Structure 1
Amino acid sequence: MPLQATVLTVEGFRASRLDNERRLFIYLPPGYRRETSAHYPVLYMHAGQRAFDPAAPGTESWRIHRAAERLIESGQMDGIIIVAIAHVRPAEVNEYYHFKAPAEEAPFIRCAGLDYEDFVVNEVKPYIDARFRTLPDPANTGLIGSSAGGLCTYHMGFRRPDVFGKLLLLSPYFVKPQLDDEAPAGLREERLYESYKGRIPVKVWMDIGDAEGLFLPRHVREVAVDLIGQGFRYGEDLAYLEQPEAAHQETDWGDRVHLPLLYMFGRTGSPASLELRGRTEIGLAGGHRTHVNAILRYDSGFAVSVLNGEYRVGDPTVLEALPDGTLLPRRPGTTTLTLSCCGLAATGVYTVVPALSDRVVVEMTADVPPEETPPDAIYGAMGMRLVHAGGNRYAGRFRVPRDAGYRFRFTKGFRKFETDAAGGVLPNRSFRASDDMSLHCEVARWEETRSRASEGRGRVDSTF
């Protein structure tokens, strides 16, 4: 009979400086109870109420325990303990902002990241180390978070390398982007992270989906490249992945969480294939810049984007490629581009055209169910506000970054998402803004506001 894993729930765990309480969900790997002499690495996870199975029907979660189970059962990873720390959302503070909140939030909230950091370091970790068979040193202690939790992981890890030696950042909220026709190129970008100079003894995973709307791959990629410049050794201290077609949501983070788990705690195997992705037409003028997303895949299922490649251009008078994949056009024309990495090679054909703008126009209309008092606006993909255009129709016109990918559902207010005709969860709509385009959509039905009261309420001492 296979050994079972266990999830324990700790109720009402007190955070002294934050003056609140929350739940902890503690995953113990298969064999923990039987192999009483074994000690385990620990991964601390933010927004822990969405770590394991969904708290309620129709809600999203990572199901990180399923990923861990698959890796352990396949022999690709030894057991780890996962401590999922539920998030508390008081209206006046944000636990995941250390130093700076986006300008639109700053007048209303306090950045409580330092207090939350103290809670994890001085209250949660000592509690776990005292009660479970952990390997408490930094090399065996990790932090994982996404979005604002990824930003928090970055700040906590770079501030406290004496505690956390493994940092897993999925779609970190490094930059607050917002459509703004008054801003240069129509996009206002507000930096939310601090820079830390010099290489420190931590191992870092960073990733981003290429369909996260205004959360652009370059927001994360630029931080990764900067860390390489600070002395981080790519592939050893640092890994970066630009995941094709992945959006900014729990299901997508859960779909790829096995990759950073392999990188940090498992065995990645051997390189098996190399693929060049991304735009192959580049503008000489017009402001648009692009890069190759070269994905190196391993026989274990592991994957990483190449930021230290050796590129060879067939005609260097047409194009130049930097080791991180940045493409620099030189003159109109067509050339081959070959990347060599880890004994593998991949070739693509690239064309430089006279001009290509950095932004494209998306015109969007949506027909919605009739209402006695229709709202003034509904909301589509990130930053897209469609205003009432009469009858049941809403419309908007937006200048967005070229090649940005979007996966979304319409909403008419806080968590009032569209559903299918029967009221069920609707698959995400998707599009990629590779050129000017017009989209027309029809909303079948709106769901009622979902209560968040049950968020984080997991099973007590349950097995799976």
Structure 2
Amino acid sequence: MALSLQKLLSDMNCAMRILINFFCLLLVSLAGTAAEARIVKLENFPSSFVQPRNISILLPKDYDVSKRHYPVIYMHDGQNLFEPGYAYGGQEWGIDEAMSGMKRQAIIIGVWNTSLRGREYLPAKVVAHLPADLRQRIEKVHGGVSLADNYLRFLVEELKPYVDKNYRTKPGLRSTSLMGSSMGGLISLYGMGEYPKVFGNAAALSIHWPLADPTKVQDHEIDLITGAYGQWLKSSRMRPGKNRYYTDHGTLNLDGFYRPYSTRMDMIFSNAGWRQGANWSSRIFIDTDHNEAAWRQRAEIPLTFLLNPVK
């Protein structure tokens, strides 16, 4: 009788442990389901400086199950980042997939472009250093004079305060970055140069150094364009000790025109005190094109650069 009772109690304990383990696994499963990245959409976000536009916000996978504060990356061409239904040519960057595999998490702010994209991304104070005829040719390609300074005011004075107020962000310059491709790369660099105490880091993929159609640029004008960047860089307030900058390009099609510019720009940045591998990274990806599919393949590289702490 005593042995039977002992066995019964043992069986009950075993059953209880199984039941407890089952509920623990269930809770872990439910927590894993809750801890998924999600996208918040803001329709027609208003501005006093530029046209209203949509904003897509990617919240980290653990945002809703933690009380953490996160770095923020403001990315241009926001409709191309997360969802193929809105992306140019149906090919999106897959930023949500890239972030899901990364140890360091961030809030990604996708700022959609508008019909004025070219003018909003054209760096005004760089173009101002060009000879009048070259400047006018470039402005004609984009449909008028630069609106970049107004676009940056929208980011700094309207969008960033909204984001910092409504989401758990790390608002300091070391935790605030800009990122984009092509002309979006230009405005990323320009934005950090104009607001180095707001944006501590910038990443520019396939940065469009020529400003307009590179096939229409004569050889001597490459020096004029890169010289204009150099003059602007001297007047900008970003510093290699406080700011960090990533740039790259491929070698196919449109990216194939960038090497003469990047060679000169690397020299300009180096002479200004930027150190490759520390506060600055300039890379070339052989046999890589100028499109969303190419940027998707290497998106984790600039994201990692932006999210690494300053050493």
TM range (shorter): 0.7 to 0.9
Q: Report the residue type matching 1:97 in the other structure.
A: L
Of Structure 1 and Structure 2, the greater strand share is in 1
Matched to 1:86, the amino acid is W
The structural deviation recorded for 1:212 is 3.7
**Hey, what's the Cα distance between the residues in 2 that align with 1:113 and 1:56?**
24
Report whether the alignment pairs 1:9 with 2:9: no
Please give the residue correspondences for 1:262-281 in structure 2 after superposition, counting only pairs within 5 Å: 262-266=304-308
Mapped contact 1:150–1:172 kept (Cα < 8 A): yes
CA apart distance, 1:158: 1.1
Cα separation, 1, equivalents of 2:74 and 2:171? 12
Mapping for residues 44-443 of structure 1, pairs under 5 Å: 44-56=74-86, 58-71=89-102, 77-90=103-116, 94-99=119-124, 100=127, 103-107=136-140, 108-175=143-210, 176=212, 178-179=214-215, 183=218, 189=222, 191=225, 194-195=229-230, 196-197=233-234, 199-200=239-240, 201-213=242-254, 214-266=256-308
Q: Distance in 2 between matches of 1:102 and 1:53?
A: 36
User: SS of the residue aligned with 1:10?
Assistant: strand
User: What secondary structure is seen at the aligned counterpart in 1 of 2:278?
Assistant: coil
Q: Normalising by structure 1, what TM-score?
A: 0.52
The residue identity in structure 1 corresponding to 2:170 is L
Distance 1:183 1:122 in 2: 39
1:260 is displaced (CA, Å) by: 1.0
1:55 maps to a residue whose letter is G
- Residues 131-175 of structure 1, C-alpha deviation per residue, up to 9 Å, x if partnerless? 000000000000001111111111110111100001101111111
Contact kept? 1:179, 1:188, Cα under 8 Å: no
Distance verdict in 2 for CA 1:94–1:238, change over 3 Å? same
User: Taking structure 1 as reference, are residues 135 and 56 closer, same or farther at Cα in structure 2, changes over 3 Å only?
Assistant: closer
Sort the Cα spacing of 1:264 and 1:179 in 2 relative to 1 into closer, same or farther, 3 A: closer
After TM superposition, give the deviation of residue 105 of structure 1 in Å: 4.8
Structure richer in helix, relative to its length: 2
SS at match of 2:206: strand
Cα deviations by residue, 1:418-449 (Å, 9 ceiling, x for unpaired): xxxxxxxxxxxxxxxxxxxxxxxxxxxxxxxx
Go from structure 1 to structure 2 and tell me whether the alpha carbon gap of 1:183 and 1:152 turns closer, same or farther (over 3 Å shift): closer
- The answer to whether the Cα contact below 8 Å between 2:208 and 2:258 also exists between their aligned partners in 1 is no
Return the alpha-carbon distance in structure 1 between the equivalents of residues 120 and 182 of structure 2: 13
Q: Percent identity?
A: 26
Task: Report deviation, 1:216.
Answer: 2.1
Distance in 1 between the 2:66 and 2:218 partners? Answer: 60
In 2, the alpha carbon distance for the partners of 1:102 and 1:70 equals: 43
The question of whether the paired residues in 1 share the 8 Å contact of 2:214 and 2:257 is answered with no
| Structure 2 CA distance for partners of 1:156 and 1:128, relative to 1, 3 Å | same
Given residue 15 of structure 1, which amino acid in structure 2 is its aligned partner? S
Q: Secondary structure at the match of 2:121?
A: coil
Question: Greater CA radius of gyration, 1 or 2?
Answer: 2
Deviations 1:354-390 (A, max 9, x none): xxxxxxxxxxxxxxxxxxxxxxxxxxxxxxxxxxxxx
SS at match of 2:97: helix
Distance in structure 2 (CA, Å) of the matches to 1:103 and 1:253: 31
Structure 2 distance, partners of 1:178, 1:115, is 26
Q: How far is the alpha carbon of 1:118 from its aligned partner? A: 0.1
CA distance in 2 between partners of 1:157 and 1:178 (Å):
24
1:262 Cα offset (Å): 1.5
| Structure 1: segments with no counterpart, 5+ residues | 72-76, 268-464
CA-based RMSD: 2.4
Name which structure has the greater RCO, CA cutoff 8 Å, separation 6+: 2
2:38 alignment partner AA: T
Q: Distance in 1 between matches of 2:177 and 2:303?
A: 10
Equivalent position amino acid for 1:157 in 2: M
Give the unaligned 5+ runs of structure 2.
1-28, 128-133
Count of residues in Structure 1 that have an aligned counterpart in Structure 2: 256
2:71 aligned with 1:41: yes
- Counterparts of 1:249 and 1:111 in 2: how far apart (Å)? 24
Say whether residues 1:30 and 2:61 are aligned partners: yes
Match of 2:203, SS state, is: strand
1:98–1:69 CA distance, 2 compared to 1 (3 A) = same
Describe the SS at the equivalent of 1:114.
helix
Give the letter aligned to residue 199 of structure 1: R
The structure-2 alpha-carbon separation of the partners of 1:148 and 1:183, relative to structure 1 and needing over 3 Å to count, comes to closer
What one-letter code is carried by the residue in structure 2 that aligns with 1:30? Answer: K
- Normalised to the residue count of structure 2, the TM-score between the two structures is 0.76
Q: What do residues 79-122 of structure 1 show as CA deviations (whole Å, max 9, x unaligned)?
A: 1100000011149x711113139644524412100000000000
In 2, Cα distance between equivalents of 1:10 and 1:52: 14
The aligned amino acid for 2:66 is: E
Distance in 1, matches of 2:307 and 2:218, equals 43
Q: Could you tell me how far apart the structure 2 residues matched to 1:226 and 1:6 are?
A: 41
